[in-house]
A and B are shown apart, each in its own frame.
Chain A
Amino acid sequence: MDIAISPNNPVPMYQQIVDQVTALILSGELKPGDPLPSIRKLAADLLASVITTRRAYADLEAEGLIVTRPGLGTFVADLTPEDLERLKDRAVIGHLADAVRAGRNLGLRDKEIVKLLYDVLDRGIERG
């Protein structure tokens, strides 16, 4: 599993694992039914603590993205294409909600926020 985490990132280490595994699943890089490393194996690979890694798996499991089958291991959940779409929408909506909040906090009207979104879409996100 191709993920990398850093203790210097203000995002907690367990959340970094959650975010990156989620991205791998939503992007289709990890497919439903694919096996995930054991908690201790992943902790050793990432040089992370066992408690941190366990918490990440617990969060991923609570969100329905992975399942643990006792005695067999941990796997990507059997998500249908509709599930994946819904989860992707949810992930993006969270960020859009942040953007809307930021805009409103700065006193922009919703219309202006929408216009900015189109600007960003046109220009590409790099300079956005």
Chain B
Amino acid sequence: MDNVAIQLSGVSKSYPGFELEDVSFQLPGGYIMGLVGPNGAGKTTIIRIMMNLARADSGQVSIFGLDNVAHENEVKRRIGYVPEHHNFYDEMTVGWMARFVRQYYPSWDQSYFDALAARFGIDVNKKAGALSKGNRSKLSLALAMAHRPELLILDEPTSGLDPVVRRELLAELLDFMGDGERSVLFSTHITSDLDRVADYITIIVDGRIHASDEKDVLLERARKDEPTASIEDILISAARGGEAR
């Protein structure tokens, strides 16, 4: 698997009071990357630039080897995106939502969506507004997965969920990965989700990349000093201004 799912090169963007500076990292196809950082570090901005919902001032984003702006439609058809805040039509049913999303994706697999909804315990006849918080997250994920995208981009998918539901979602993600044809970028500040499943970790602090490497490599380096170091410890030391790699 020498294909590259995501490649960011020198991406910069400034808003009043916030700056994303020279962000570069790469996710090889077939793996899960965790994008971690404190609130306000720039995770969501990076994801919005990747989805062409925000424009970078400079730098380049390439997804599946294609420029994400020049080839926006093709790229987006091959991505499943779960934004931080789920925008559902609360008055409409889950089944209606699925039909609504389906029209944008030629590769939509209705039986897969139905199977996911069943596995997640979501009643397709229920109104979206009547779903619990956990079920809203699960529905969002099911809607993003049902066209079997090659890349899932998840912005804080587990935030606000209880540990049992988080564990279910992680298991579903690993199942979705299949034989290595799919990749996942997963932003979170709940680093314990990544201790298990992430292949790569990118740590972002104050709009800059602090480290981007294989998780096992980052852990091994940190555990030379502190034998029980976790991703959380690495993030905290990075946020306190610890030495970058």
Which residues of chain A have a CB within 8 Å of any CB of chain B? Answer: 7-8, 10, 12-14, 40, 43-44, 47-52, 55
Contacts and interface: CB of A to CB of B under 8 A. Distances in A.
Contact of A12 (B32, B174, B216): B216
Contacts, number: 58
Interface of B: 30-32, 167, 170-171, 174-175, 177-180, 192, 195-200, 214-216, 219-220, 223, 227-228, 230
Given A12-B220, A52-B216, A47 B177 contact: no
Contacts of B223: 10, 12
B180 A48 contact: no
A49 B197 contact: yes
A12 B167 contact: no
A112 B195 CA distance: 43
Given A12-B216, A12-B223, A50-B32, 13 more contacts: A7-B196, A7-B230, A12-B220, A14-B216, A40-B179, A44-B171, A44-B174, A47-B170, A48-B196, A49-B198, A50-B180, A51-B216, A55-B216
Contact of B199 (A7, A44, A50): A50
Contact of B177 (A13, A40, A51): A40
A20 to B, nearest CB: 16
Contacts of B171: 44, 47
B199 A49 contact: yes
A51 B214 contact: yes
Contacts of B196: 7, 13, 47-49
B195 A51 contact: no
Contacts of A55: 216
A10 B227 contact: yes
Nearest to B192: A7
